[in-house]
Amino acid sequence: MGKKELAAVGRKTTEHEFYASTLKGYKPGKTKYIIITGSVISGLGKGVFSAVLAKLLQDRGLRVSPLKFDGYLNIDAGTLNPYRHGEVFVLDDGTECDMDLGTYERFLDGRLSADNYITAGKLFSQILKREREGKYLGRDVMFVPHVTGFIKDFVRSLGLKTKADVVLVEVGGTVGDIENSYFIEAMRELAYEEGSGNVCYVNVTYILKPGTLGEQKSKAAQFGIRALMSQGIQPHIIACRASEPVAEKVREKVSIASNVPLERVVSFPDVDTIYAVPQMFKDSKLDGAVMDILGLKGKAPADGWNAFVQRIRRPKKNVRVGITGKYTGLHDSYASILHALEHAGAANDCRVHVEWVETSEITDKNAASRLKGLNGIIVPGGFGSRGWEGKIACAKYARENDLPYLGLCLGFQTAVVDVARHVCGLKGANSTEMEPNAPHPVIELLPQQLDIEGLGGNMRLGARTVEITKGSFANKLYGATKTKERFRHRYECNPDYVKRLQEAGLVFSGCDTHHTVMQILEYPKNKFFVGSQFHPEFLSRPLRPHPLFNGFIAACVRK
């Protein structure tokens, strides 16, 4: 597109079919774009691919901003069932988003915002709001140019706000889905407007290996890639996902079918840890290929990552940790916890073997047998009453048997109820979430949430300051008296019961800045019994494990 045509894009007039962009100061070509799509099946690992590629470019000195599009009509991920969509990840600004953003943050060691995430629901709600406000100058609002134009503005504005050298866009779903067809069209238009050398298309496809045949087959991948090409997008790079390294003859077939040079058709097989993927991509010269396509220059990559990977692969010790929850049938429900354990395990030179404990089947009578052989347990977050009493039984067993215990959000509340019932002697103590008419509501709805209506809008979300008591066990773990953590909850420890709980031996060593909301608890009689009202797993990083997880795994090793 020439300068005259680009000028027309920004002109608010009905004389042209171009979208009237609202961006000020945007210069085509200043920011480069990488668009990542998937074909054949969903759940390929596009999030890992995107995060690793972003990290490799970051290692070369480039500023990279990732963005995820999800095609569902929810405004955000906050109301999605973990069984359907996996973990809901929370950002500093309170955005409830897809778990892929957690993958981005971990690999980039950064903090993202709402600007890095958009759903179809968010997209259409903003477009319709603009239509009601008369922002489209009487035009009939269409997918082209208005919806695709809004998407391009959103993508470009991320580059402007973050001053990114590269914006990396992961398109959720699979090529051929109705839900992402208009987004893919917007990404086609983006390359048309930005010009040659400014947009790189990557397709992550799947290579089948039917058990009856015993060999890899590329036909489904070829059809998937051609479906993308039929939408006007010629991929520059193809990443072939498979359970094992992709054979060269299979890569050759994909190369011929996609017009992509063989050296840019890379194998993306399963590995023992996702943290080994960066080296695999380096060996494939993937980052160099992207930089050549986009005309980017950067420094030689540093190598401080492999030592971390080697600690994962060659641990000196082993520990068994029980995750006692109700979503144990889908491990993605606890993705950030699993990663945080892997980070802490590497820091403590041990491999963490996770045992899944379904709490709906746990009682005081069978807790000992169900938790036998574990070096520590985690009671994770969650909502609803199913498995609640089993979690209390787990907390009680850990407290009475000095088993390392880490309670996260709901696990904090579980520990409070356990102590209230079994140490304070408050019969019927409970959370009003589980029993609205509990005689002793030791956990109740936060006062500031009482007047908020709607499931998606009545939670305390995002990063908040936590004041840590000097000289406490938490103070020792953090090495500080103040920290910032991410929250996602509606209920809290009832302030009316704090004194009685403290008299029973609980210590509330972390509070909000007004000292009204209890945010960290510990039970000093035990070697490690800690609960946090926040979610420390969201801030754990490969080379910087979260202090609570690091301390928990160290205690498990000693146990």
Active site residue 535: yes
Name the nearest CA neighbour of 389 among 413, 356, 408: 413
Active site residue 105: no
Backbone φ/ψ region at 518: left (φ over 0), alpha (ψ -120 to 50), beta: beta
> Helix and strand tally (H, E) in the chain?
19, 21
Across 473-502, b (16+ Cβ under 10 Å) vs e yields bbbebbeeeebebbbbbbbbbbeebbebbe
Overall residue count recorded for the chain in this entry: 559
Active site residue 409: yes
3-state per-residue secondary structure call for 38-101: ECCCCCCCHHHHHHHHHHHHHHCCCCEEEEEEECCCCCCCCCCCHHHHCCCEECCCCCEECCHH
| DSSP sequence for 309-328 | HHHHHS-SEEEEEEEEES-T
Q: Of 394, 409, 493, 556, which is the active-site residue?
A: 409
> How far is C-alpha 441 from the geometric centre of its chain's CA atoms?
33
Residues with Cβ within 8 Å of residue 504, at least 6 apart in sequence: 419, 420, 423, 424
Strand-pairing partners, residue 487, are 462
Neighbouring C-beta atoms of residue 153, cutoff 10 Å: 18
Q: Of 85, 339, 440, 535, which is the active-site residue?
A: 535
Name the nearest CA neighbour of 37 among 217, 184, 148, 151: 184
Q: What is the CA radius of gyration of the chain?
A: 25
Instruction: Using DSSP bridges, classify how beta strands 376-379 and 405-408 pair: parallel, antiparallel or unpaired.
Output: parallel
Catalytic residues: 409, 535, 537
